[in-house]
Structure 1
Amino acid sequence: MPLQAAILTVEGFRASRLDNERRLFVYLPPGYEGETSRHYPVLYMHAGQRAFDPAAPGTESWRIHRAADRLIGEGLMEGIIIVAIAHVRPAEANEYYHFKAPAEEADVVRCAGLDYEDFVVNEVKPYIDARFRTLPDPANTGLLGSSAGGLCTYHMGFRHPDVFGKLMMLSPYFVKAQLDDSTPSGLREERLYRPCRGRPPVKVWMDIGDAEGLFLPRHVRDVAVELLGEGFRYGEDLAYLEQADAAHQETDWGDRVHIPLLFMFGRMGTPASLELRGRTEIGLTGGHRAQVNAVLGYDSGFVMSVLNGEYRVGDPSVLKALPDGTLIPLSPGTTTLTLTSGGLVATGVYTVVPALSDRVVVEMTADVPPEAAPPAAIYGGMGMRLAHAGGNRYAGRFRVPRDTGFRFRFTKGFRKFETDAAGGVMPNRTFRASEDISLHCEVARWEETPYRAAEGRDHDDSTI
């Protein structure tokens, strides 16, 4: 009979400086109970009520235990302990903000990140090390978070390399971006992270989906490139992935969490595939920033984007390519672009046109079920506010960065999402703004009760 993993729940774990309590969920790998002389690496995970199976039908979770079970079962990773720390967010504080809250929150939300950091470092970790058979040193201790939890992981990890040696950030909330036609770029961008300086002894994973709306890939890629400038070695102690068609949600993070697990705790294997993704037509003028997303795949299932590639341009008078995939147009024309990485070669054809704007127009309308008191607006993807246009119709016109991908459900308030006609979970609506586009949508129903956090006390919007 195969050995089984277990998930234990620790109730009412107190955070002294935060003056609150929450649950800890602890994954023990297959064989933990029987191999009593063995000690294990530990991964600490934020927003822990979403780590394992969903708390309620129709809600999302990572199901990270299934990824761990599979990697361990296939011999790609040794057993690890996963400590999922449930999130408690009182209305007046955010545990995942260390130094700065977005401007629209700053007047009402206190940054409680330093208190939460103290809780994890000085209360949770000592408890786990005392109760379970852990390998407590930094090289065997990881920290994992997504969105604002990824921002928290960045700050906490770089402040405590003596505690956490492995930092895993999925879709980290490094930059708050909002549509704003009053700015030259059409965006108002607010940096929320305090940059790391130097190269502490930590191993770093960062990723981002290319369908996360205004969570733009360049916000994360740029931080990875900053770290390379500080001396991090790409593919050894730093890796980055831009995941095609992935949205800003737990199911998508869970679908790829096996990749950073392999990088941090497993065996990456041997390079097996190399692909050039992204736009192949770029403008000489117009402000559009072109970057190749070169994806290197391994036989283990590990995958990363190439930020240290060797590019060769067939006609160097047309464009120049930097090692991180940035393309610099030089003159109109067409040329080949060849990348060598991991012992593999990939070639694409790229065209420089005279001009290509950095933004495109999205016009969106939505018809919704009639209501006695319709809301003033509904929301259709990050940054898209559709105003009431009379009757049951809402409309908006937006100028968004070219090639931005969106996967979303309409909402009319905090987690008051649309559902299908039967009241079930509505599949994500999907589009990519590669050119000007007009969209019309029909909302069948709104969910009757907004989602509540699994802790049953406070709203949990760790994904912002």
Structure 2
Amino acid sequence: MRNESKIIIVSNFHANKLNNDRRLFIYLPRGYEQNEHKRYQVLYMHAGQRAFDPVQPGTESWNIHKAADRLIADGLMEEIIIVAIAHVRPTESNEFYHFTAPNEELAHIKCSGLDYEDFIIHDLKPYIDERFRTLTEPRHTALLGSSAGALSTYNIGFRNPHIFGKLMMLSPYFVKARLDEQSDSGLFEETIYDMYEGKPALKIWMDIGDAEGLFLPRHVRGTVDELIGRGYRYGDEIGYLLQPEAAHQERDWGERVHIPLLYMFGTIGKPVALELIARDDVGLQGMSVSINALVHYDSGFVMSELEGTYIVEHPDVLEVTGDGVIIPKAEGVTNVTLIAHGLQASRQFTVIKELSHLVCVRMSVKVPSSTPDRSAIYGGMGMKLETTGNLVFEGQFMVPRDSGYQFRFTRGFRMFEVDAEGNPIRNRCFRADKDVELHYEVEQWEGLGKSGPERKDYADTTF
């Protein structure tokens, strides 16, 4: 008798208003077939083709089934059903945008998010509730998405709190800054969502990595602050994490998906450690600096502390607000101690005269001779490099200080660099904490080497 989790694949599931078909991947927890009278909470997940095992070697996935299996086996999380919805990306529209798309896409991308919402509510959920033993109330029904899928989760959830009571948003695509030489700051920041009014009965999780390039953490944190200001209780009704060294990609989302799973369906346990993450120097003028205080729990749960008590050794040098914002007062050095949850941690800070908002990144890359003429080379979010001849591309960019980048060079959407044998490579990484010159070399482009035809589903994220 089997007592293991399993994944059921439903092919060609039709969305009526969208008039398209897609696959569903349905995770049933261990014991589902044996416990015939038990009903289960349901998590609906966007971009479901990357929820479980990789589509093919070299592609990324969340492996959320492995996280759920482990948490359930350890007694940290109750058994749930996960419905992973494969994304359909027609060239003329995007299902994850409800009302407006990023400016660079407006010329040819329509927003079909309302029809996608209708599909989930009127086509998919009734199908799942009819065929599986589900708990159908809002408090038992969750949505999960990352990037634009998190934006979709936000819109669908706040528009339908009578259906979805739990919203899990990883790296939500609320605002993205773009490099803009015409702007005084070197950046143009665009908002692609509207804040809903009121305080519907929702439990909310939001997080973002601090190495997501121009997906700047402050925009997600600003949304969290806004929701707390509207009455959501931090820790109980809304949780937030700024994840160190995490990039905008499936692998990193999968590595921390156990955290929102614990928050929504499990037991977070007891706090066991505090960790203070921040740069060591703070400017009297220029960029603001905040402490990312992480509370670690014995279950593996982690959350950023936004309501701590900070004790400053020399308060004439700086102050720290309860949510970690440093207010410099005079040049000098001081220790700062956080006390929270019966724990404490300390860090030393130096206040200097000035710390500029932006730093200069100079980047060059040598490309292989197989590179097509007139190629555009991109080396990070928004970093377009221009040819200088002799198979070298260069660019100079002013970017926010301390922004982190993990990337592969591309020639455009999904046209990634690979190694000499045509295999995927790990991300290149850097943090723009000062002016820097970076020099790289691309061995080969996907589909242009000796290893065969180009892959069509290569570790792309859903913007």
User: Which range, TM-score by smaller chain?
Assistant: over 0.9
The code of the aligned residue for 1:348 comes to R
Q: Deviations over 1:405-459 (max 9, x none)?
A: 11111111211111112211111111111111111101011110444249xxxxx
- Structure 2 matches for 1:203-214, cutoff 5 A? 203-214=203-214
Secondary structure at 2:171's aligned position in 1? strand
Any conservation in 1 of the 2:359–2:434 contact (CA below 8 Å)? yes
Per the TM alignment, residue 184 of structure 1 is displaced from its structure 2 partner at its CA by 3.0
1:339 and 2:338 equivalent? yes
- Which stretch shifts more, 127-136 or 337-346? 337-346
Q: Give yes or no for contact 2:157–2:164 (8 Å, CA) kept in 1.
A: yes
Q: CA deviation at 1:180?
A: 1.5
Contact 1:102-1:190 within 8 A present in 2 as well: yes
Tell me if structure 2 keeps the 8 A contact 1:77–1:266: yes
Residue matched to 2:279: 279
Say if 1:415 and 1:450, in contact at 8 Å, map to a contact too.
no
SS of 1:291's partner is coil
Q: Are residue 57 (structure 1) and residue 36 (structure 2) matched?
A: no
Contact 1:148 1:462 in 2 (8 A): no
Range 417-426 or range 262-271, more displaced: 417-426
What is the CA distance between 1:375 and its match in structure 2? Answer: 3.4
C-alpha distance after superposition, 1:229-283 (max 9, x if no partner): 1111111111111111111110110010000000000000000010100212111
* Counterpart residue number, 1:300: 299
Partner of 2:5: 5
Alpha-carbon separation, structure 2, partners of 1:372 and 1:92: 29
Counterpart Cα distance in 1 of 2:319 and 2:137: 44
Cα deviation, residue 315, structure 1: 2.2
SS at match of 2:389: coil
Aligned partners of 2:430 and 2:457: how far apart in 1? 29
Answer whether contact 1:275 1:346 (CA < 8 A) is retained: yes
What's 1:290 paired with? 289
Q: Does 1:70 align with 2:54?
A: no
Q: Give the total of aligned pairs.
A: 458
Q: Which amino acid aligns with 1:452?
A: K
Q: Which amino acid aligns with 1:267?
A: T
Cα contact 1:414–1:450 (8 A) shared by 2: no
Indicate the larger mover: 315-324 or 83-92.
Answer: 315-324
Aligned amino acid, residue 391 of structure 2 = N
TM-align CA RMSD? 1.5
Quote the residue 2:217 is aligned against.
Answer: 217
Q: Is the 2:371–2:445 Cα contact (8 Å) retained in structure 1?
A: no
Tell me which residue corresponds to 1:83: 83
Post-superposition shift, 1:372?
A: 6.8
1:289-342 CA deviation, whole Å, 9 max, x = no partner?
211100000000000111122222222222222222111222222222221222
Distance 2:99 2:462 in 1: 18
Q: Which amino acid is the alignment partner of residue 251 of structure 1?
A: R
Partner of 1:138: 138
What is the match of residue 443 of structure 2? 444
Q: Deviations over 1:47-67 (max 9, x none)?
A: 010100011111111110000
Alignment correspondent of 2:370: 371
Distance, in Å, in 1 between the alignment partners of 2:371 and 2:164 is: 53
SS of the equivalent of 1:223 reads: helix
Residues 341-350 or 256-265, more deviating: 341-350
1:181 Cα deviation (Å)? 3.2
The 3-state SS of whatever aligns with 1:362 is: strand
* Alpha-carbon separation, structure 2, partners of 1:114 and 1:185: 35
Counterpart-to-counterpart distance in 2, 1:413 and 1:372: 12
> In the superposition, relative to structure 1, how do residues 317 and 162 fare at CA in structure 2: closer, same or farther (>3 Å)?
same
Alpha-carbon distance in structure 2 between the residues aligned to 1:36 and 1:336: 58
The CA distance in 2 between the partners of 1:394 and 1:148, in whole Å, is 30
Q: 1:11 to 1:376 in 2, by over 3 A?
A: closer
> Are the aligned partners of 1:320 and 1:329 in contact in 2 as well (CA < 8 Å)?
yes
Instruction: Name the CA distance, whole Å, in 1 between partners of 2:307 and 2:155.
Output: 25
The residue that corresponds to 2:254 in the other structure is 254
Mapped partners of 1:364, 1:28: distance in 2: 47
Q: Bigger CA drift: 311-320 or 93-102?
A: 311-320
Q: Distance in 2 between matches of 1:199 and 1:336?
A: 39
- Name the aligned partner's letter for residue 257 of structure 1: V
Partner of 2:44: 44
**Distance (whole Å) between structure 2 residues aligned to residue 152 and residue 450 of structure 1:** 30
Alpha-carbon distance in 1 for matches of 2:457, 2:22:
12
DSSP 3-state at the match of 2:176 = strand
TM-score, scaled to structure 1: 0.96
* Structure 1 residues 329 and 196: CA distance shift in structure 2, 3 A: farther
1:141–1:92 CA distance, 2 compared to 1 (3 A): same
**Who is 1:457 aligned against?**
none
Amino acid of the structure 2 residue aligned with 1:17: K
